[in-house]
Structure 1
Amino acid sequence: MDNLFLKYMRERTGRKKTAQGPSFESPGPVITISREYGCPGRRIARQLAETLTAKNRAQGNNRDWRWISKEIIEESARELKLSPGMMEDLSEYRERGFFENLALFFSDEYYPGDVKIKNTIAKFIFNASTEGNVVIVGRAAEAITKNFTNSLHIKIQAPLSWRAERVAEMQGMTIQEARKEAMEMDHRRAMFRNYFEKERPDIDYFDIFFNCATLSDEEIIESIVILAESRGFVV
């Protein structure tokens, strides 16, 4: 599987591209969900996986759909021998205080390079995607699997004011604090994605965008299911 991953990454970054880019045949379908901070990506992914599983079973296919989010960090951290918390901090460019960094410097903790962190995460996403029947939340999965033939890429968005209200409510912040948190998280996530996306526009990677300020979870999920069925993801 690792050799297949390396071959795929060379095709994505490499030579002899056609006008539409290389095509990569995946053994099974993958749906990726990217979201702006404060939008319900995980909740929608869970409900989407449950809905697709139910539709499979109704047609006599007992293969379940699964969704993954935190597992990406947990498995990548295990491979790099880091704690999940540190892995998330490093991948999201979270800042540490002077004394915290000093303590880590004299500890047994090991900082792998930025490229190694991102490629470890990418390898996990690639391997999960080749298994098929998976909904993946975040971590630039849309870029890592963009050239899979059986893929669908979703982005969930909402105005900053709407997101700030939800973040303030969930985390007990003021609206001003929540706005700042949302903007900082969007920026850190963009830094991670740009390693894979090379600052190309979103339209190069996503098939459809949803505004969760004007659409309910159910409406978003129903729309994704219709697309998944039209592409033969449910059989």
Structure 2
Amino acid sequence: MGNSLMNYLNSRLKEAKTHEYDNMSEAGPVITISREVGCNGLVLARLIAERLNKKHPKDSWSVLSKEIFYESARELDLDPEMVRRTFKKTDRYVFEEILKAFSEKRYKSEETIIKTVKEVVRTLAIDGHCIIVGRASHIIASDIKNALHIRLTAPLGYRINTIMTNNKLNRNEAIAFIEKVEKERAAFRKTLRESSLREEFFDLTINRGSFTNEQAVNLVEFAVEEKGILHKFSHKMAFH
């Protein structure tokens, strides 16, 4: 990951932590994207950010996904891969055995890792002007009013072809990849949902097999306008 992106992420987090949000109506705006494997969620997220930045040049929308693990790992002084693995496992005893392999100084419990990742996601969501892809962000940010929660789906054939192309895999390998990653994502969402006690819900579900990238971006832009997640912030900006 480029240093510029990490520096940006760190500065955003520091700025966000200096603000107090007694009224959650001031939080955001944020867009979360949950997706089935093979829906090219990151591709769509970047196109949405590009459209929003072009239409609202005073704002600066960013796309975040794996960066969440990097920032969480930095705060925990752990390897990002160790943080990621915590949410892929289902056996808590396995969690603890893996983590105990670290020296006492760097040992972090599963609960601490989960809490840190949640805090990073939530801080970024509250700070706003970001599109968070995955990381159960739709659960963590479910109480933020100025948010649009999107779910991307697609027929299995579409998703297999996407994975075959993106990852240079044959059909059987692509199917195995989809099954593996879907299980990991389900475990991640379950872990966050159990710890936050929030339900999953979405404002908009898009079938990636039915719409081109441009059409999908148009749908998201329409939803952003109709839900009005930018209105409060546009109104504020007009007085500066």
> Which whole-Å CA distance do the structure 1 matches of 2:19 and 2:116 have between them?
14
SS in 2 for 1:187: helix
Aligned to 1:147: 143
Contact 1:27 1:132 in 2 (8 A): yes
Aligned to 1:233: 230
The amino acid across from 2:172 in the alignment is Q
> 5+ unaligned residues in a row in structure 1: which ranges?
8-22, 96-100
Is residue 2:178 matched to residue 1:163? no
Aligned to 1:15: none
1:133–1:181 Cα change, 3 Å: same
Aligned to 1:41: 41
Aligned to 2:205: 209
Aligned to 1:28: 28
SS in 2 for 1:165: helix
The CA deviation string for residues 178-229 of structure 1, in whole angstroms up to 9 with x for no partner, is 111101111110111112334xxx9941111111122111111111111112
> Which whole-Å CA distance do the structure 1 matches of 2:34 and 2:109 have between them?
25
Aligned to 1:83: 79
> Which whole-Å CA distance do the structure 1 matches of 2:76 and 2:61 have between them?
27
Aligned to 1:18: none
Contact 1:2 1:123 in 2 (8 A): no
Aligned to 1:220: 216
RMSD: 3.1
Q: How does 1:1-235 map to 2 (within 5 A)?
A: 1=17, 24-57=24-57, 62-93=58-89, 105=101, 110-198=106-194, 204-230=200-226, 231-233=228-230, 235=234
The amino acid across from 2:28 in the alignment is G
> Which whole-Å CA distance do the structure 1 matches of 2:59 and 2:69 have between them?
25
TM-score normalized by structure 1?
A: 0.77
The amino acid across from 2:220 in the alignment is I
> Which whole-Å CA distance do the structure 1 matches of 2:44 and 2:120 have between them?
21
The CA deviation string for residues 90-147 of structure 1, in whole angstroms up to 9 with x for no partner, is 223399xxxxx89x83768945222222221110111111111111111000000111
SS in 2 for 1:112: coil
> Which whole-Å CA distance do the structure 1 matches of 2:156 and 2:106 have between them?
37
TM-score normalized by structure 2?
A: 0.76
The CA deviation string for residues 17-61 of structure 1, in whole angstroms up to 9 with x for no partner, is xxxxxx94243311100111111111111111111111112xxxx
Runs of 4+ in 1 over 4 A off after TM superposition: 1-5, 106-111
What is the percentage of aligned positions where both structures have the same residue?
31
SS in 1 for 2:123: helix
> 5+ unaligned residues in a row in structure 2: which ranges?
1-16, 92-96, 235-240
> Which whole-Å CA distance do the structure 1 matches of 2:186 and 2:149 have between them?
16
Contact 2:32 2:132 in 1 (8 A): yes
Aligned residue pairs, count: 208
The amino acid across from 1:159 in the alignment is P
Q: CA offset at residue 174 of structure 1? A: 2.0
